[in-house]
Structure 1
Amino acid sequence: MSADKQLPAPQQAVNLPRHIKKGHQLVFSRQDLSAREADVFALMMAFMSPDDWNQAETPKYTFKASELSEWLNISSKYVAGTLSPVAERLSTRTVGIKNLKGDEGEFDYIPYFKRIQYKDRMLTITPNDELKSEYIEYNQGFALINAKNFFGLKREYSKRLYEILSRFKTGGTHMPEKSIHELKGLFGLLDENGNLKPNRKSFANNGVFMKRCIRESIEEISTNPETKKELIFFQSPDGENQGIDLIKRGKSIVGIEFLYSWVDKGTVQELNEIEAYKTIRKLEGKRANNTKLTLDELKLLLMAYNAVKQTARAKRVEEAISKRAEEEMQRSTAEDLESLLSKIDELEQTMDDPDY
């Protein structure tokens, strides 16, 4: 890989960056990209840094066929056949950026790239200057997306959900409830007027949307050998849904709350085997002495068992985490209700016990 910025010469090996960094505005934009298109865009973002723009000309990012083959898991014989049409389609793609100064539902649709070309076994990408602030400004926060794991996911909607959930990794942050309409926008199903695109009419049925964009994405992320080590989805309080709690108005689903936790608090670092064995010995020793492990300790134990490929034990710990998280959620709800009723009792003492 090479670019206008100071990078190693083309003949030198370049490692794939550990993370893809995307600002909040870009993460929560309206994107309609296939899996391969999302990979190419993410590859550019993985190598982009604010310093790239400290020059007169727009930066360019150039990737050799051998790098694309390795990082995107494409047979070297089929790199051209796979990526040439992808580059052609990407040259016309736009991204919907939310207009922060306008009405709530306003989005500006801007082309991703100034130019993108696959020629002579080289992919050259020139980003659009109009998106400079969305590409490199992080004043609203950002997502650190594990690059290798992102490229390892197969489905476009799985990649999109993984990217969105990566925005909320650190302690104390969690993705707020999202309406079905907003989620359809995030998954690239809506046009500039907020209506379903002509080729996405089947998603008018919320059951189709839930299956293809949400449930199948959660299924892939939670069963992928790598992403399942870092991201856990919990059962809903009613036990009917994995990773989501449905918000309903009558019988209609109007929104979703995602029920998940990042195992390692956003560091995205796996334990090596020696550290894993030490962790297992320590925490299983506590359990053997009838000491109940904390939720954070259970998450660490899960990561340790995954590191040494003890799938069956990891599954048992994962089930315990899900159960514990549900218990804590119910306890918190009960405590909130008790506090509310106490305040109502105090208020009624100052009143003449009015009827309902």
Structure 2
Amino acid sequence: MFMENCIRRSIAEIDKTEKNITFYNSKQRKNCYGYNIISSGRGGKIRGLEFLFSWKEKESESVSELFDRLGNRKEYTDAIGVYMVVNRDDFTPDNPINPTVEELTMMISQPEVLLQHGLELSSEFMSKYSTSMAEAQKHKLSDLNKYKP
């Protein structure tokens, strides 16, 4: 009863309404669309569920589309804009479009916004983030040194 009312119906509803998720059939059991049952012992006591799904890739705007939308302004006010700039493959040090320490901090403090838009905080992205942060900190330090007496 629980499996039918809570799991199967929920998966069916999500499958109907959410076009960015794809569910898969279980290879272990026939009537398990979207999940596997994890059981133990001879009685087959259910220990857990493994959900079988993947997120479809959303088409994201290119960096040039982002700059068009932002009006080529240097200041990014949203986490998604900063993410797009950080995640580009053509990072160039000293580029005026590189985000500031404050913009990077704002972006990384809002993971739920990024995840809601299908943007992952993968190890590849975090490496790019580290490079961007180091660059931003270098510029912040050099800007502070300009004002030393």
TM-score range, shorter chain: 0.3 to 0.5
TM-score between both structures, scaled by the size of structure 2? 0.35
TM-score between both structures, scaled by the size of structure 1? 0.15
Per residue, is there more strand in 1 or in 2?
Answer: 1
Larger Rg: 1
